[in-house]
Structure 1
């Protein structure tokens, strides 16, 4: 029997969950234990095979010390939400590093815009 192709949104949310878990310094086993679910359930969410419920997203956000919306914003393909995600990442950097990242982004966007 052919395996169902993962939903792109579920894959994006899964990547955000995995990134936040790693930032929190937790393993999949630790997350599973804290949520009282199996390790395979965490793995399936992170791989985008299962879309977590709203209740589960809230639990994950609490565990990772972030807003549940952050898990969704990080997975959005909408420019406004992507900008919000970039702003959150930039906020973690000092002034000099933010300037460096912005210069790199400006160069990339300029170059890529010329190709279209």
Structure 2
């Protein structure tokens, strides 16, 4: 995983760019996913805070990547936001399971009949693409 440059520090007399740690990058991405999902479902930070038993500032700090939610707290957030817990970690895998989690999060709040229809449509499209469309090369989609 690549690291992001976040700051400048001095090593001796030389300015060196400090890099964001992998764990901080994960915390930031999870926080951004919490914020994005909260907005999709139309809840305020205060509403989410009340639902999980914390202060609004705690939700703001989690969303901003200042603090990491514990796993039990992340499970609470997933329940309140109607989102699969694994979807908060989307982007850390090229596996089909990651894509499935992302799609699950997109359709989670729809009625079952609508979800079933979407799954059927995806199935038809996937089948057609296997037969007629060349695979998309990484970096071209």
TM-score (norm 1): 0.65
Please say if 1:29 is aligned against 2:56: no
Tell me which residue corresponds to 2:13: none
Higher relative contact order structure (alpha carbons within 8 Å, sequence separation ≥ 6): 1
What is the number of equivalent residue pairs in this alignment? Answer: 102
RMSD: 3.4
Tell me which residue corresponds to 2:78: 61
Post-superposition shift, 1:87? Answer: 3.9
Change (3 A) 1:111 1:71: closer
CA distance in 1, matches of 2:66, 2:84: 23
Change (3 A) 1:89 1:56: closer
TM-score (norm 2): 0.55
**Greater strand content:** 2
Given that 2:30 and 2:88 are in contact with CA atoms closer than 8 Å, whether structure 1 keeps it comes out as yes
Q: Which has the larger radius of gyration?
A: 2
Tell me which residue corresponds to 2:55: 38
**Greater helix content:** 1
